[in-house]
Structure 1
Amino acid sequence: MTGGRAGAEEAASLARLAATVERLRAELHEVRRAADDRALVELAKGILVERLRCAPAQAADQLATLAARTGRSQAELAADIVNRAAGDPIADLSLTGAAELDGGPEPPAGHAEAAVRLRTAESAALGATDVQAAAHAVLETALLPIGATAVAVWAAGPDTSLTLAGHAGFSAEEAGLWRQVPPGLITPATSTLIERRTLWHPAPGPASIGRHQLTGGRVTAVARLGGRVLGVLEICWPDDPPRPTPRMERQIEALAGLCALTLNSPGPPVRAGAALAELAALADSMPDPALVLLPHLDPQGHVADFRVHHANARSAVRAGGLLLEAYPFAAGELLGRIEHVHATGEPFRAADMRFTATCTAEVSITRHGGSVLLVRRDHDQARLLEHAQRLGRIGGFEENALTGEIMWNAQMFSLYGLPPDARPVPLERLRDHVHRDDEVAVGLFLRTVLHHRRPAATAFRLERPGGAARHLRVVAEPVFAPDGRLTALRGAYQDVSPQHWTEVALAVTRDRLARTERQSAARNRLALQLQHAIMPPSHGRMDSFGLRIAVRYRPAQKEDLVGGDWYDAVVLPSERVLLSVGDVAGHGVEAATGMVVLRNALRGLATTGAGPAQLLSWLNLVARHLTDRMTATAICGVYDPATRVLRWARAGHLPPILLRDSRGTELPMVKGPLLGAFADAGYEEGRIQLEADDTLLLYTDGLIERRDHNLRHAQDRLLAVASRTASTLEHRLDDLLTHCNSDTDDDTCLIGVHVR
């Protein structure tokens, strides 16, 4: 008893000690939290002092007043002020502006709750793995509490088209119908995309996603990021939406901004930098002045100007400055066009755009990621001619016949492989620079121009310094004064090397194609000869053991479609009759040789006396292991004349047809996969008792295949034709080949077996 009382007292002491430790720990945590809150409040007071230009006491009063008005603690409000000072767009909606600090008119009711919803939506959207998940997060966390039941996030294309990137609240079928909105179709989302502002649409409104599901109003807001319009957020209500207020519009625009973050899916900074470097390299390769521009945003996040990130050597603008500093006249139409291209991605081109007070130029503006490429081409005829000569690899020259002065343009020096300060080569010395095989042609050209003084042209190979040769074409004409004196020679050279080598490549390609066609024709002839050598005569007939057997074989009309169809009818040593048809997949020599292997293998295996199912199992091993992994379909039947019993099995083939009492039916389907498809394939065996005057038909699919009908329709057609009355078995087979109306141009094998 004494020991038990001591143990209880010790346990009670430990419990009191643990409670004391826990209380002290809670008090310490509370002290630390209070210290953090005071530090946050003091930081917010400092921000208010700087923003409102007021004393610290006034800032403290403003913070207390605003906290009381919104029903929030000063620590919570201080956190939003700090976030807002850091440029957090969601925090802007969790605070009132400076006017509200001075007693603005907007009521605080529900404001704290809206801020919490926005914060929750922000966390959920930023944590989403894709746009679809972000749409669900925005709907569930921010929009369901205000009565909205569906949301769609559209990705904008450069041609005002829209793609449904994410949705919530709509059925999968409805979303599938609205995957794409083409340009020109006016929907609430395209209206916002065109006007680039938030729009409220009363019911019923234009056609859009879920119009038959949700008959109420909807609102569409621009999903904008860094001045770029990436898409549209569309919010739907089942009935009338809430009354639009400035605060609600700002909240919806903030949600659209969250959707823009998921639509943007930015790459790592290294990749973005590499993209800018590639764009700068593209600008440097252009023959005209080109600028790579990045948006310059104002404090509200709107595009105020564009900063020149890179300028190529042909541009007089320095990198790092603002566009309006370089081109003050761009403040009008040009800046608006650049901003539109950056926002929408729609490329812009104009033949006449003002850059300065006296300069207009042709302009091309395109967006590349978050940057814009601006290319200008001044209206200068000489420069246009220079570009044309450079692109056409054309060099011009003029020789003064009176003074001997020679004038070349820059492209001439490039054609000759000479430096720009080299001495031009006179036309009469052209022979010194041509390939020796072309000296005769060049001599005739010079004689025509210099002696006969007539225009002429010729093609030749120019040998440049270093031994390189170029294929050129030269044209020249003499220029005469009014009194008939020769005053100058004018002409042009054009580098035709690419055309020459293209013609050479085409000639080689034509030769290779002709050789390939000859080889293909030879292979097809070989396959056809092999097929004809192996297959028995198509009009052969066998009358024995109470059977009349007739066969028909119709090869493909095109030689390049020679296939692997086979048939066989042979009396075995056991005095039973082997009946088989088959079709090897493919065409050509491979299919024909595969047919030979399988047909002869089946003949050999059948001499063992095994049943049809066992024969196909063995033949499947042949197809897999003794050939180049071919696949084939086949029917194998063994007929016993003594009992008139036909045992049969199939390997993925169409079932035989039995004609009895003028009525055609297909034999019951037995299981059996393609030959060569599986190593351990199993085959079922069927049995049928034939009667006198029965006719059995075995065929390959070339008899019935049609491109415009399914297989069941073709088989029904075959049964109808086979049931017609025929005077002989041969006539019946000929009638089937004529009227089954297949159109796939495939080989056809057909066996008819009539029980006499």
Structure 2
Amino acid sequence: MLNRAVIEQAKGVMAARLGVPPQEAFDRLMKLSQDTNTKVAGVAAAVVGAAIPDPPQPETEPVVDDQLRTRVAEELPASQGGQPVTPPARPAGVEALHTFHQIIGARAAAARDHDELAEALAVAAPGWPQPRAVSICGLEPDGALRLLGAHGLTVLQRSQWTRMPPQLEVPVTRAVRCRAPVVASTPDVVKQEFPALADSANPPAAAVALPLTDGEDIVGSAGLSWSTPLRLRGESERYLLALAEPVSIRLSELSGGADLAAGAWLSIPLEAMHNPAVLLAPVPSGAAIATDFRVVRANSYAKALCRAGGVELAGATLLSLFPYAGSQALLAACRDVVAGTALHHLDLVRLRPDDVGGQDAGSVSARVAAVADKVLLVWHPHTSAESSYEQLLRAEAVARIGSFRWEPHSGVVHLSPYLMMLLGLDDERLTDVDAVLDRIDEADRPAARRLLRALMTGGGRAPQTQVFRGAGRILGRSLQVTVEPAQAAAVVVGTVQDVTEQRLLEARLRKTEIDLAGQRQAAAVRTALASAMLPAPKPLAAKHVTADGACRPGAHSFGTAWHDAAELPGGDVLLMAGLAAGSAPDAMVGAGRIRHAVRSYAVVRRGPGEILTATNALVRFDRPGLTAGIVLARYAHAHRRVRWASAGTGRPIHFRGEAAGTILASADAPPLGAEPATAYEERELPVAAGDRLLLHVHMPAGQPAVHTLAGAAARIEPETVSGLLDEAGDDMDRCVIVARFNGG
């Protein structure tokens, strides 16, 4: 069937040139075939090739020999004058390519459907092997390619490649996007340029894609693939790529939709638009990314705008229409749409005077959409009035305030866009004010009606403000209404502001003020209680001992800390640092009771271990649930010895001269109140003049700064004790006391 097409074409050529009937022309073809020992199809291709010029670049085995070429020249006289046609001298390889090009073209022209059109290309030629697969794709209005026909593809492959969006990077889509043939002749090129194709189940070793056109419009793409690398040389590539022309013609005929691809149908909707609109096509540049877009069609609005600006649409491009706005935003949007973005919406594009319409409008909003291989650009110029209106709408939304205008004589109420949204209404023009009153809480409606009556009777001449609660769709909202009569009460204008968040904030502020007042009162009570239970300690400056301490709560206070230094009857000195766990005031009261108990036991000459044992029993009896950590020391100058004991956290650190401190060893003992009948161990330390002893407690347990303090020998003095609090970190409650032993 496909060979018959080229034979019929040759019959027509000979009949026209010889002036004989078709049957006689066919008889002459048969005689030429017999005389030259060539198949009839080959003779027919030679006849057609002699009558048709070369396609708009080497060497293969000849298909048409010199004898056949000469006989064809003798049989075909010139169309005028009766002289024989002498075909142009072509090299043998080029002649073969030319002949096969005509055969394939004739087969394409005879194709009855898209599958036969693909089959016409699926043949071997002198310049290239037979393709493994051929696909014919049509371009759709959104820029996607739809598979119309194929040869050599499985049913599964046809299903998987039915529709290819423009952003899919395969040869057929790139050929459409670049408006130029695509040749990937080796597997490495296929893999590098088209990963999606290389990752398929059976990737090709070579691929070629031809853009199919109808005039200046792209109507589709033809794809060919091979299982082996493709070696195209000069003329072979030229003739292969020239197959796009006959395939394009037949595709347009089969599809019957050339007008759709060309965009002619857009003329009607373009003229119906109330905004300027142009249809743009990429300017061919050979680059993968379009550098500009030419104007293909424009509606009357766009033409008038261009005439007013002195711009000639013939030959115009996007960048000639919009030198500034195009380079800043529009060109990139058009590129994105060509690459596969379905729609681009640009809210605000600035114009300059040399842009079309830039002298009358400072900006435009634009819509950019794909139409087949082209781009539809529609823009709306923004006048100063529109810009002011948009700014007003934005101000209403930011301030959460809307406006209204009420005409009492007609009952019509006009609402601003934000007020419509605020009230949950769909119509900006209401014929009954009750539609607005229905959005006010039922309990507040009488007050709202009284306000309206006062305005209607002229009783309310000054602006009035009132807050109403919302109802229905705005239940739970608070609306502040301000009304102002005008024009002898014929028109009432006003505003409605959503003050819900403001009212909630005011309520929170009032609650915060009450809470702060309560906290200040509680703080005053705690201060008074602390003064009563734990008097502020004073530095000790005894004859043989100088001592001072400091306490500081952490970022998360865990209890009440205290320190104490006192000279006892008989000359001994008592030193202690403690921390009672729990919340005030319980911890504060407990700390005061422990401090007084320790002092009392020390006066009757009990040692530190005995004192802690007795105090533990007292806490268990008098303050069940209270626990406290404490370090207690008693210095007897006559023996130059310090006896000490600890309950819970903290071990004393002994400093001698400038050397680092020594952390004194002790057995772990539970805090006071933690366990019943606990006997606390007492230790003894000899000291010399100039030695320092540091007692410290901290909470929570397990986070001591003992080693840090032990290394701070130069800072361990009673006079610098407050600076040591920073050594333990801000997340701890802590208390330290430092004693320096003097001579004498």
Q: TM-score, structure 1 length as denominator?
A: 0.38
TM-score with structure 2 setting the length: 0.39
Give 1 or 2 for the bigger CA radius of gyration: 2
